[in-house]
Amino acid sequence: MSNEIRVRFAPSPTGYLHVGSLRTALYNYLYAKKVGGKFILRIEDTDQTRYVNGAVKNLLETLESMGLEYDEGPEKGGEYGPYFQSKRTEIYNKYVKELLDHGKAYRCFCTPDELDKKREEHRVKGLDTRYDGRCRKLNESEINDHLGNNDKFVIRLKIPQEGEVTFYDIVREKVTFPWNMVDDQVLVKSDGFPTYHLANVIDDHLMEISHVIRGEEWLSSVPKHLCLYEALGWKPPKMCHLPLLLNSDKSKLSKRQGDVAVEDFLNKGYLPETLLNFVVLLGWHAPGDQEFYTLTELEKAFSLKRINKSGSVFDLEKLNWMNGQYLRNTDLKVIGEYARKYFIDAGYHITNEKHYLELVDIARNRIHKLDEVTEFAKPFFSKLEYAEEDKAILGSESSQILFKFWVDNIIDSPELNEEFINGLLNRSVEELGIKGKELYPPLRLALYGSEHGPELPTIMDILEKEKVLLRFKNVLK
């Protein structure tokens, strides 16, 4: 084993990338960057029943869009590959044979129906529902009889039946489990594929992983893994288990209560920078009160020692607020590029880049996420529709006089700049005697479809002269 710090993110290709998995990937990435180590991506695809086509491609694209570049893994390779567990079965088989030969594991011929029946009997009686280890006691003759009958079997790890195991976790410090709480873990399924537990331990050792940084839900699996490390004569890596992400009601964050997929948040117009900044603070904090970080700043500030023990609430209101701050403070051209796809998807044809960025600039001060930008922009691209009360305002005598006055003056104007429009507003007051609520609301309604909105010079600049005249003519009787 080398002294290099090596961490890994090891997702299963079962669909989308959960925001909790994003946090796990981010913490691994940041720790590797902080200490000058390596960040490895490994695909744990041994459970073929849960494999989803396209999931690996989606995972790689999502990590790329978030700026989390791995050092070794699929598409990049490395000296510790292959990085798909489904391509490493011969490696696992070698160590399974070693465990069987040394009496550290055994074949279990119990059928799923038998196990379910026994588990239910024990549950009704209030007894321990863990596997009772009956096949652990089979002699060589009984095992050969089962094999001769081609009976299906799984391979289980022999867990100590008394005493306890204690280990150190970077977040939780000293942790102890009694062995009587730990099941004889299945290492190889009846289809011949290894379980997560076997493949995980073997790969972490062979890939020389120094620190296992993963979710709290795997904490109870550590005793099984330590038992397997000992059975194979290997030194385990350091452990670091991250606190749960919680809904507002303190239940575990799940899709039942809303979006949890990173791609869903990105599609709704949350910026990658926002998601990284928001997610990193769900369980970690730096000294001081800084709240906004670039990825480069996080690479310098991050520390495993400052990870919290307690779960963190995924506060959607806080995420919306933070995204609004990023929208307003990020370079306008960057936001313009992020926003462009929403205009294209809505069928809004961008003909003037200057006016497009002007529109995005106005919108970003009024929205929290970019999928709201097209609703704000709709009046500039779509035919205006009016409620009956709006039609009454537009059809009033003073409004009709106002609209005709503006059309007559705009027709001969070379450009609708701010100076010209403000001058025309002043003339509307002085020459027509129209002011206050009889001036601005009708003009905004005619041009923008609402009494409230951007400043008139901005609206008219974005619409341009031809469209301004058309909209005034549309409301003239």
Same domain, 337 and 434: no
More reliable by pLDDT, 31 or 161: 31
150/309 Cα distance (integer angstroms): 49
DSSP 288-326: SS-----HHHHHHH--GGGB-SS-EE--HHHHHHHHHHH
pLDDT of residue 255: 65
Q: In the predicted model, is pLDDT for residue 305 greater than 70?
A: yes
Averaged pLDDT score across all residues of the chain? 93
Residues above pLDDT 70, as percent of the chain: 99
> H/E element holding 120?
helix 112-124
In 10 A of CB 151, how many CB atoms? 14
The predicted pLDDT at position 348 comes to 94
- Are 94 and 238 members of one domain? yes
- Mean pLDDT within 334-347: 96
Residues 195 and 340 in one domain: no
DSSP conformation class of 208:
T
Cβ atoms 243, 288 nearer than 8 A? no
Q: Is 473 a catalytic residue?
A: no
Over residues 237-266, mean pLDDT:
87
Per-residue pLDDT averaged across 266-270, rounded?
A: 95
Instruction: Check if the beta carbon of residue 248 is closer than 8 Å to that of residue 315.
Output: yes
Identify whether residues 102 and 203 lie together within a single domain: yes
Helix (H, G, I), strand (E, B) or coil at 211: strand
Calculate mean pLDDT across residues 178-184: 93
DSSP 8-class letter at 454? S
One DSSP character per residue, 394-436 reads HHSHHHHHHHHHHHHHHHT-S---HHHHHHHHHHHHHHH---G
Q: Which helix (H) or strand (E) holds 6?
A: strand 6-9
pTM above 0.75, yes or no: yes
Contact 446, 471 (CB under 8 A): yes
Is there a single domain that holds both residue 96 and residue 195?
Answer: yes
Q: Are residues 219 and 360 in the same domain?
A: no
Last residue of some domain: 242, 257, 273? 242
In this structure, what token pair is assigned to residue 39? Answer: 């960040």
Contact at 8 Å (CB) between 314 and 253? Answer: yes
Q: For the beta carbon of residue 385, count every other beta carbon within 10 angstroms.
A: 8
State how far the Cα of 20 lies from the Cα of 18, in Å rounded to an integer: 5
Do 387 and 364 lie in one domain? The reply is no
353-404 tens-digit pLDDT: 999 999 999 999 999 999 999 999 999 999 999 999 999 999 999 999 999 9
Handedness of CA 25, 27, 33, 37 (dihedral sign): negative
Shared-domain flag, residues 232 and 94: yes
Q: Is 228 within a domain? A: yes
Please say if the pLDDT value at position 250 is more than 90: no
Q: Is residue 413 part of a domain?
A: yes
Q: Per the structure block, which two tokens stand in for 362?
A: 């106005």
Tens of pLDDT, residue by residue over 406-454, are 999 999 888 888 999 999 999 999 999 999 899 999 999 999 999 988 8
Whether the CB-CB separation of 21 and 11 falls below 8 Å is answered with yes
Q: What pLDDT is stored for residue 96 in this prediction?
A: 97
Catalytic residue among 97, 117, 255, 300: 255
Whether 136 and 155 map to the same domain: the answer is yes
Phi then psi for 233, rounded to 5 degrees?
A: 75, 30
- How does DSSP assign 160-206, residue by residue? -SSSEEEEEETTTEEEEEEGGG----EEE-TTSPBPHHHHHHHHHHH
**How are beta strands 164-169 and 173-178 bridged, if at all?**
antiparallel
d(CA 400, CA 476): 6
Does residue 275 carry a pLDDT above 70? Answer: yes
Q: What is the pLDDT of residues 350-361, one digit of tens each?
A: 999 999 999 999
> Is the pLDDT higher at 415 or at 114?
114
Q: Which amino acid is at 150?
A: N
How much is the average pLDDT of 256-280?
90
Residue 215: CATH number of its domain: 3.40.50.620
In this prediction, residues 90-118 reach a mean pLDDT of: 94
* DSSP summary character for residue 134: G
Three-class DSSP category at 31: helix
Q: Identify the pLDDT of residue 2.
A: 63
Q: What is the pLDDT of residue 206?
A: 98
Other C-beta atoms within 10 Å of 397: how many?
Answer: 7
Regarding whether 184 and 109 lie in a shared domain, the answer is: yes
Phi-psi region of 451 (alpha: psi -120 to 50; beta: other; left: phi over 0): alpha
Helix (H) or strand (E) holding 215, with range, is strand 211-215
Contact (Cβ atoms closer than 8 angstroms) between residue 289 and residue 271: no
Question: Of 382, 402, 424, which marks where a domain is finished?
Answer: 382
- For the domain that residue 426 is a member of, what is the CATH number? 1.10.10.350
Tokens of 292: 């906004």
Q: How many domains does the chain have?
A: 3
Residue 249 pLDDT > 90: no
Which residue among 242, 262, 291 closes a domain? 242
Q: pLDDT band at residue 1, thresholds of 50, 70 and 90?
A: low
Q: How many CB atoms lie within 10 A of CB 383?
A: 8
